[in-house]
Copies of this chain bind each other. A is one copy, B any other.
């Protein structure tokens, strides 16, 4: 006892049937198994307290039922609401379909040793979800135009053709512009993200400016300041804006953290945020609701982004393994290139205006 774990073989013996039968019952390929036999097998499984081994299960069809979440090697990658929320969403969707989640960090030597490929070849993982991508991650090129199941979460690239799922940042920009205009603001400042590095934040800013222009408001270049998506820099950016044009009536920040930084700057300038200067954020993080006054913002629903990303990747994996079974060994030279039939995942998820108390009608 204790020497070896209970295996499918033991179950077979215990219930007096063959291995195959047990396996069929286990996988709900019940079609040709009689009710009586099935009962018997299920019974034995229960009696022996049998759990099929994932390792052994994955071996025959080379899949581990595991997904990797890959994050860049930032200071506090996991200590971030944004990542946290997306990861939670991914976790939920994966669990729904019986998949597990691995965590990988794209550190320097991880990338140099091309571990992101190993981890797939390895059978450690059936697919990769990459959060926090930016233009700097040139190694993503290894996935450009290939079959490899990697999906970029909430980001996209102009130069590479990769699977992706993201919030509709352009819609978000338009919503913000419309709302501020509707509330009567024309003298507006904007705290942007790092436009040159992160495409999503560039989308947001561009769409915001364009829609403002359409509605007859011109946003001067000098009233756009980069807040680097952080509270502290958001505060600094806001100070800058208030100095450049003290008559500003509203500020749109590309995320809530910077908007909350703006609150601080406005207070320190002796004014009241949401009253003397209206503030609008983006993301709808938890503290946006708790802030005083409640921050009007655009909900990106990151939890949902994570979940939908995960579902898309899972679908992708399913159709891929399905396909490769049909034409196995048929076409010789498709090594790495995409078959014409294969589709890129490219989804944009809707966003939503959340009206609270930080924007005043003027």
Contacts and interface: CB of A to CB of B under 8 A. Distances in A.
Interface in A91-120: 91, 95, 100-105, 110, 118
A71 B130 CA distance: 21
User: Chain A: interface residue count, which band?
Assistant: 35 or more
Given A100-B102, A102-B102, A286 B75 contact: yes
A5 B78 CA distance: 34
Contact of A101 (B5, B79, B103, B334): B103
Contacts of A87: 78, 103
Contacts of A83: 78-79
Copies in the complex: 2
Nearest to A73: B88
- Determine chain A's interface SS by DSSP, over half rule: mixed
A121 B53 CA distance: 7
B81 A76 contact: yes
Contacts of A332: 1-2
A290 B231 CA distance: 12
A290 B232 contact: yes
A32 interface: no
A159 interface: no
A330 B358 CA distance: 72
Interface string A284-308: 0010001000000000000000000
A51 B119 CA distance: 10
Interface string A37-63: 000000000000001111110110010
Interface in A303-341: 324, 328-329, 332-335
Contacts of A85: 76, 78-79
A81 B2 CA distance: 41
Contacts of A81: 76, 79
Contact of A69 (B54, B69, B82, B103): B103
B80 A79 contact: yes
A175 B333 CA distance: 68
Nearest to A79: B84
A146 interface: no
Nearest to A51: B121
A233 to B, nearest CB: 11
Contacts of A80: 79, 84
Interface of A: 1-3, 5, 51-56, 58-59, 62, 64, 66, 69, 75-85, 87-88, 91, 95, 100-105, 110, 118, 121-124, 232, 286, 290, 324, 328-329, 332-335
Q: Which 10 A-B pairs have the closest CB atoms?
A: A79-B84, A78-B84, A79-B81, A3-B329, A51-B121, A55-B123, A101-B103, A55-B58, A53-B123, A54-B124
